[in-house]
Chain A
Amino acid sequence: MNRHPVHVKINGVDRDGYVEARKTLVDFIREDLELTGTHVGCEHGVCGACTVLVDGQAVRSCLMFAVQAEGCEIRTIEGMAGPDGELHPLQAAFRDNHSFQCGFCTPGFMMTAASLLEEGPLSEDALRHELSGNLCRCTGYQSIVAGVMDAFERVSDSTGEGGR
């Protein structure tokens, strides 16, 4: 079977791979790049667990083939915290609001929320609508909504003070 070279910049690091065309992006990220923070749930685009940012946009990494990510910039949960381990405001807000229980869906929620954070704060109703693309079987969602709303505030407070 033919394999294809793939080059991506993932969490700021240039990485190369050599993949079968049928390998999905999420399998490439987990198996070839050994970044197992991105989780695989339903593998057909329903649950949102595998959400990553591709060129800044939230996408389902189970609905994209790795070969299609050639030349793209990818951000995963591993790219959220600072180099010294300092938590991203979303991570801190999730921790403080108990926005996860088993944690399986958390990377997907976090990356969806990261893309929302880029575009600025939302009302709670609009946020609930956006988060409806990610499934959680533990929390009942209240604490996740609270965590993201809290993160919106943290980010706007910090930018109000002139930096993050």
Chain B
Amino acid sequence: MKPSAFEYHLAASTNEAVDLLAEHEGDAKVIAGGQSLVPLLALRLARVDHLVDVNRLNDLGEISANGRLRIGALTRHRTAERSTLVRQHSPLLADALTYIGHTAIRNRGTLGGSLAHADPAAELPATLLALDGEVEVRSARGTRTIAAGDLFTGFLSTSLEPDELLTGLSVPLWKPGAGWSVQEFARRSGDFAISGALTVLSVGADGLIDEARIALIGVAPTAVRATLAEQALVGQHPAEALWSSVSDAAVADLEPPSDLHGSSAYRKKLTSTLVRRSLAEAASRIGAAA
């Protein structure tokens, strides 16, 4: 057995789960799909004293679209990826989901788990940022909402308190006619991307860009928005030349990490290319039905 020993608690209800987290505050970790946590435990990069299993909390697996697209934290990637509600109300999210690992991973992995894990190279934290989404969290002390911009605080770190359980996420319903694109580069299908760009673009009645959102993955300790590039796009006419100039601006102030898979300079160049491609693809989808 590779992981170090821990106490296992199967929560029968959300109340029980948050009570367990309160009781073992700081010594407990939540397990949902386990597709990131179990490898960390198996490699002993992480060890826990108490594991609180939330897999039987079926009330955290619902998807609805009343005013906002709301997805329960325990929804499996595969379920959300195939949901017509998700496709209709957030095509960027629907596309981003298909880039996560492989089918066997997405059959187990959950949306809440991916957000709480907060891997900077993962798709969902960047998607939530790009869409200005938020998460709902619950503890024995009550519930609160955390905006995407306040959620990711560092590498694999979030602003969730140790006794809080992420119970769901929500994003605004899709702006009709907005274009979108997910662009990633990985050496092998299903691997974490070396870097990536997720883009949403829309134009107003005057034909000028009225909204631009670009989130980048794999270039910083958390997923980040390319704010300067977004500002440079608004008010402009969509055009190839614009994508090139803005994609350079998008990475200008980044200092991506260097590792085995690519140097900092390489990541910067790659990310610029992916931003350019994502802008072109998003522009081509403006006005198309989601």
> Which A positions have Cβ atoms within 8 angstroms of B?
1-2, 4, 20-24, 27, 43-45, 48, 51, 57-60, 62-65, 67-68, 112, 115, 129-130, 132-133
Contacts and interface: CB of A to CB of B under 8 A. Distances in A.
Given A22-B4, A23-B1, A45-B35, A62 B42 contact: yes
Contacts of B35: 45, 60, 63
B5 A1 contact: yes
B34 A58 contact: no
18 contacts: A2-B8, A20-B5, A21-B7, A22-B1, A22-B3, A44-B38, A44-B43, A45-B35, A57-B107, A60-B108, A62-B38, A63-B105, A65-B8, A65-B38, A68-B34, A68-B55, A130-B103, A133-B101
B189 interface: yes
B141 interface: no
B190 A132 contact: yes
A43 B104 contact: no
B104 A4 contact: no
A161 B185 CA distance: 45
Contact of B1 (A4, A27, A44): A27
B20 to A, nearest CB: 14
A62 B6 CA distance: 17
Contacts of B78: 57
B191 to A, nearest CB: 9
Interface residues of B, number: 30
Given A20-B5, A22-B6, A64 B38 contact: yes
Given A45-B39, A63-B38, A58 B1 contact: no
Nearest to B48: A22
Interface string B169-191: 00000000000000000001110
A4 B43 contact: no
A45 B105 contact: yes
Given A45-B35, A58-B107, A59-B108, A2 B188 contact: no
B105 A60 contact: yes
A63 B188 contact: no
B104 A60 contact: yes
A67 B3 CA distance: 14
A59 B77 CA distance: 13
B51 interface: yes
Question: Closest 9 interchain pairs by CB?
Answer: A133-B102, A21-B8, A44-B39, A132-B189, A57-B107, A58-B104, A22-B3, A63-B38, A22-B1
